[in-house]
Amino acid sequence: MTLPMIPTITAFERSPDGGKGLARDMRVRWALEEVGQPYEVRLVSFTEMKASAHRTLHPFVQIPTYEEGDLALFESGAIVFHIAERNAGLLPDDANARARAITWMFAALNTMEPPIIDLGIARLMEGDKPWFEQRLPVVEDRIRIRLGELSVRLGDADWLDGAFSAGDLLMVSVLLRLSRSGILDEYPNLSAYVARGKARPAYQRAFDAQLAVFTGKPSSG
Ligand code: GTB
């Protein structure tokens, strides 16, 4: 009898957000929870992450990584795609619907996430620069352009294209990074969309598991 392979992911031993769902292992945890795949987590310190063993797994020496037997993956989007491809529940069976869901995965990571990351970098690294106050609204307005377009497309639908998919999982994960900025509140349907994502039991289990790393309390899942 072949024993089922339990994948192992890597996550921060200490994350700047204290495990509140912003580090990118969260989206991988969420995908694994959605499909009901148990997993193990190897926590890494910043020093361990930069050591050669981890560099072999991840060419850019970051988290998350994903190991399953002799398969090793990096890039959260690729990992979520792999999980969605190998398990039912995150991609539709219909070929065209599946292609559209995958398109939303790319849209989340390639179109929505870059300006949102720019805002994080501006706040974290450029706050002391003399031009910061002038640049900030420019960066925020670039995000507003994309949020406005996404808001129109979503309209009053629950999810981006039919049933919840890996495209929604990544889109919600990306939009969550705006939580502290207040910008998302300007788009009530997107705020409600993110709230729907966060209300999913699989999200809650993933969140609790990530938070438990920092609180030391066992997660309920
Ligand atoms: N494109 C890669 C992916 O999607 O997997 C990016 C991976 C990445 O940026 N990983 C970060 C990392 O390892 C952690 S998630 N950084 C260390 C390094 O590059 O040296 C980014 C992150 C971490 C913590 C917060 N936070 O606390 O708010 C937010 C985002």
Is 33 within 8 Å of 89 (Cβ atoms)?
no
Structure confidence at residue 89 (pLDDT): 97
Please state which CATH number belongs to domain 95-200.
1.20.1050.10
Every domain of the chain and the residues it spans: 8-89+202-215, 95-200
Q: Is 219 helix (H, G, I), strand (E, B) or coil?
A: coil
| Cβ of 35 less than 6 Å from ligand 1 | no
pTM of model > 0.85: yes
| Cβ of 17 less than 6 Å from ligand 1 | yes
Instruction: Pick the residue whose CA is nearest to atom 20 on ligand 1.
Output: 62
CA–CA dist 51, 117 (Å, integer) = 26
72 - beta bridge partners? 67
pLDDT digits 0-9 by tens, 148-204 = 999 999 999 999 999 999 999 999 999 999 998 999 999 999 999 999 999 999 999
The CATH number corresponding to 8-89+202-215 among 3.40.50.1370, 3.40.1400.10, 3.40.30.10, 3.90.1150.10 equals 3.40.30.10
